Amino acid sequence: MHMADALISPAVGVGFWGLSLGGIAYSAKKLKENLDEKMVPLMGILGAFVFAAQMINFTIPATGSSGHIGGGMLLSILLGPYASFIVMASILTVQALFFADGGFLALGCNIWNLAFYTSFIAYPLIYKPIARKGKFSFLATIVSVVIALQLGAFSVVVQTYFSGISELPFKTFVMLMQPIHLGIGIIEGVITYAIIKYVATTKPEILESSVGNKQNKLNGVYTKKLVLVFFILTLITGGILSWFASNNPDGLEWSIEKIYGKSELPEKEHFLKNIFKGIQEKTSLFPDYTFKKSEKQETIPEEERYPNIDMGTSLSGIFGAFLVLLITFLTGYVIKTLKKKNL
C-alpha cells in the first residue's frame, strides 16, 4: 500500500509530510517522558524484522493480487503507540530513499496511512479495550489489524481524490481498495497474532505492559534472548524468504490496474515532484530491492521467475534491515540522552 508520487499532488504530499513530521515530533516527546532503556534494542530489531517481512508479498487467493504485512499493529502491540510510530516512519523512510519503494513526495502520506491509524486509532481504541478482557486475544488482533488497514486503504483513496491529478473515480477506487485490503488484513492479522502469541509465551511482561498502563516500562525484563530470536528471523526473512515473494501486483497496484489497465499511472510533471524524484534517484542504491540494472541488461520477466533467487534481493533485505536497526537505535539513543539531560 505504498503510494507512488503519481497519485498525489504536491499540495497533498507536502501537507501530509507536515502531519507526519508532527506525529514524529509528538511521539518523540512522549517517548522522552517514559522510554525504558531496554525498549531501544527491541525497537531496533522489531523495526528491522518488519522491514524484512514487508518484502514478502503473499498471494490473495482467487484475485490475482497480493499483499504484505504492514507491521504497524505488531509494533504498536509490542512497543506502544509512540515507539511504533517512530519505528514505522524509519522503515518507510529507508524504503523510499534507498529502495524506491513508495514515492518520496508521498512519504508523508505513506507514514500517515501505515503508522497513524495503527498507532493512534486501532491500538488504543480497538486493541486495548478488547485485549484487556482476554489479553493478547485472537479477536483483538484480527479486528484491530483489519480496521487499521481499512482506514489506511480508504485514506489512500481520499488522498488521491483530493489531489485531483489522476483519472481514478472515487467510488470505483473505494469499491476495489476496501475488499482487497480486507483479505490482506485478515492474513496479516493471523500472522501478527502468531508472532504476538510467541512473545506472550516467552516474555508475557511485554504484553502485560502493552495492555496495561505501564507502556514502555519493562521494569528489568530480560529481552536479549527475544532480540536475538528476531535478529535471526530478520536475516532469514530478508535474506532467503524474500525470494518467495508473490509476483502478483499488491492491493493498490491491483486496484489501479482494474481501473486504468496498468498498475502504474503516468506521472504529471511539476518542479517540486522533480526535486523529490531527483533526490530519490540519487539515493536509491537498490531500486525494487535488487541491484541497479542498465537499460542494456536483459532480464527475465518477473512472472517467469519464481522463486526469484537473487543475491541483490538478499543483500537488499539485510542491508535495509540494518539501516532501519541503525536509524531506530540512534533515534532511541538520542531520546534517551535528552531524557537524562532533562532537555
Q: Where are the beta strands (DSSP E) in 290-343?
A: none
Burial of 290 from C-beta contacts in 10 A (0-12 / 13-18 / 19+): middle
Which residues, other chains included, contact 111 with Cβ-Cβ below 8 Å and sequence gap of 6+?
A: 16, 20, 23, 24, 88, 89, 92, 93
| Type of residue found at 255 | S
Other C-beta atoms lying within 10 Å of the C-beta of residue 196:
24
Predicted confidence pLDDT, tens digits, the chain (343 residues): 899 999 999 999 999 999 999 999 999 999 888 777 778 889 999 999 999 999 999 999 889 999 999 999 999 999 999 999 999 999 999 999 999 999 999 999 999 999 999 999 999 999 988 887 656 688 999 999 999 999 999 999 999 999 999 889 999 999 999 999 999 999 999 999 999 999 988 888 777 766 654 555 565 566 788 899 999 999 999 999 999 999 999 999 999 999 988 888 888 888 888 999 999 999 998 998 988 775 445 455 555 566 777 888 999 999 999 999 999 989 988 888 887 777 6
CA distance 123 to 80: 8
Q: What's 74's domain CATH number?
A: 1.10.1760.20
Query: What are φ and ψ of residue 60, in 5° steps?
Result: -90, 110
pLDDT for residue 234: 96
CA distance 107 to 288: 16
pLDDT for residue 38: 76
Angle at 124 between CA 105 and CA 45, to 5 degrees: 60
Q: Judging by DSSP bridges, how do beta strands 65-67 and 58-60 pair with one another?
A: antiparallel
Cell match 498502563: residue? 213
Contact 181, 153 (CB under 8 A): yes
- Residue 4 in grid coordinates: 507512488
Identify the helix (H) or strand (E) that includes residue 334.
helix 311-341
- Residue 224 in grid coordinates: 536479549
Cell match 484480527: residue? 142
Q: Please tell me the total number of residues recorded for the chain in this structure.
A: 343
| Domain carrying residue 62 | 5-341
Q: What is the count of structural domains for the chain?
A: 1
Q: What is the DSSP string of 163-213?
A: HT-S---HHHHHHHHHHHHHHHHHHHHHHHHHHHHHHHHH-HHHHHHHHSS
pLDDT for residue 249: 93
